[in-house]
A and B are shown apart, each in its own frame.
Chain A
Amino acid sequence: MPMFKAGIIDYTWANKPSVAPLGQIICITDVGENGSLWRGDGTKWVRLNPIKIFSLSAPVSLTGSTSVVTLATITIPAGLLGANGKLKIYPLWATTNNANAKTLRLNIGGVLSTMVSQSVPNNSGLLIIRNINSESAQKCSSGLVAGIGSSTGSIASPTIDTSAATTITITGQLAVGTDTMTLEDLFVEVV
Chain B
Amino acid sequence: MKTIAATVINEVVTPIEPMPSDAKLIVFNGTEYVIYEDGDELPVIE
Q: Which residues of chain A have a CB within 8 Å of any CB of chain B?
A: 57-65, 67-73, 96, 169, 171, 177, 180, 182
Residue of B nearest to A182 (CB): B45
A96-B46, A180-B45 known; A61 and B25 CB under 8 Å? Answer: yes
Q: Is the CB of A70 within 8 A of B12?
A: yes
Distance, CA A69 to CA B7, complexed state (A): 10
Q: Chain B binding site: helix, strand, loop or mixed by DSSP?
A: loop
10 A-B pairs with the lowest CB-CB distances in the bound complex, closest first: A64-B30, A58-B23, A65-B30, A69-B13, A61-B27, A57-B21, A60-B26, A70-B14, A68-B12, A62-B28
Q: Is the CB of B18 within 8 A of A171?
A: no
| A69: chain B residues within 8 A (beta carbon) | 6, 12-13, 28
Q: What is the total number of residues of chain B having a CB less than 8 Å from a CB of chain A?
A: 24
| B6: chain A residues within 8 A (beta carbon) | 69
Residue of B nearest to A96 (CB): B46
| B11: chain A residues within 8 A (beta carbon) | 67-68
| B15: chain A residues within 8 A (beta carbon) | 70
Q: Is the CB of B26 within 8 A of A59?
A: yes
Distance, CA A60 to CA B14, complexed state (A): 13
A60-B19, A182-B45 given. 12 additional CB < 8 A pairs?
Answer: A57-B23, A58-B23, A60-B25, A61-B26, A61-B28, A61-B45, A65-B30, A67-B13, A70-B12, A96-B46, A177-B30, A180-B45
| A65: chain B residues within 8 A (beta carbon) | 13, 28, 30
CB distance from A142 to the nearest CB of B (A): 21
A57-B23, A58-B24 known; A180 and B18 CB under 8 Å? Answer: no
